[in-house]
Amino acid sequence: KIFSEGLAEMKKEEAQELANALKDSANSVYHLMENLLEWARMQRGLIEFQPVTVPLLGVIKRSVDSLYEQARHKNQTVTIEIPEEIFVNVDLTMLESTLRNLISNAIKFSYRDGQIMISARVHDGTNIETIITDQGIGMSPGLLDTLFRIDSRSGRLGTEGESSTGLGLLLCKEFIEKNGGKLSAESIEGEGSTFRFTLPLVPNTF
């Protein structure tokens, strides 16, 4: 009611700014509920594990495309450097959820006009390591040490006030481990963060 009554008195720029803020808030609530639902289903054993062989590049491109508006809003560039020949054996739903969370976080905690890099390489001859690097606000050693612990509070605001609970990272860790991989993070406060996860390499495809 307050919004509708005041809309007539707002300038076009003010109305657009408020609309964008409402959209961002709605998206944050949606992603939180999505993570909560997936977390609850995982804990109750209701998520069926269905691995398939997929090209990693295609999955990552779709994930980046789904977050295009979030990155465009902050005028950020997302660069992908992954060979087309890389195939992984993975539960597609779990991989897509992991990528959405990690890339969304990179955007959230990076500054306007920032750059995000996504790459992949063969690791130990049997795994593919995917690397997501940003040049954002980074993390303190204390936050980094408790990042994947259920009993810690790792939620904080993004560079433009975006909300975060830290739940998405716990979900990512469980999904990657369910697929036989490992998830880790490196960070320097004020300089940015790098998240790495491994997945089984499909033999004779790279």
75: amino acid identity, one letter = N
In this prediction, residue 99 carries a pLDDT of 95
What is the tens place of the pLDDT at every residue in 16-58?
Answer: 555 555 555 555 555 555 655 665 565 566 567 889 999 999 9
In this prediction, residue 71 carries a pLDDT of 94
**Above pLDDT 70, what percent of the chain?**
72
Mean pLDDT taken over the chain: 82
What is the rounded average pLDDT of the residues 4-15?
Answer: 63
Give the integer Cα–Cα distance in Å for 103 and 60: 10
Sign of the CA dihedral running 60, 23, 72, 134:
negative
Non-local CB neighbours of 117 within 8 Å, separated by 6+ positions? 79, 81, 131, 132, 133, 134
CA distances from 25 to 39, 132, 161 (A): 21, 25, 10
Per-residue pLDDT band at 147 (split at 50, 70, 90): confident
In this prediction, residue 39 carries a pLDDT of 56
In this prediction, residue 49 carries a pLDDT of 80
Q: Would you state the structure tokens that stand for residue 167, as one six-digit string?
A: 């739940």
* pLDDT over 70 at 62, yes or no: yes
Beta strands 115-123 and 77-81 are parallel
In this prediction, residue 123 carries a pLDDT of 82
* pLDDT over 80 at 191, yes or no: yes
Angle between helices 92-108 and 12-43 (to 10 degrees): 140
What is the tens place of the pLDDT at every residue in 104-145?
Answer: 999 999 999 999 999 999 888 889 999 999 999 999 999 898
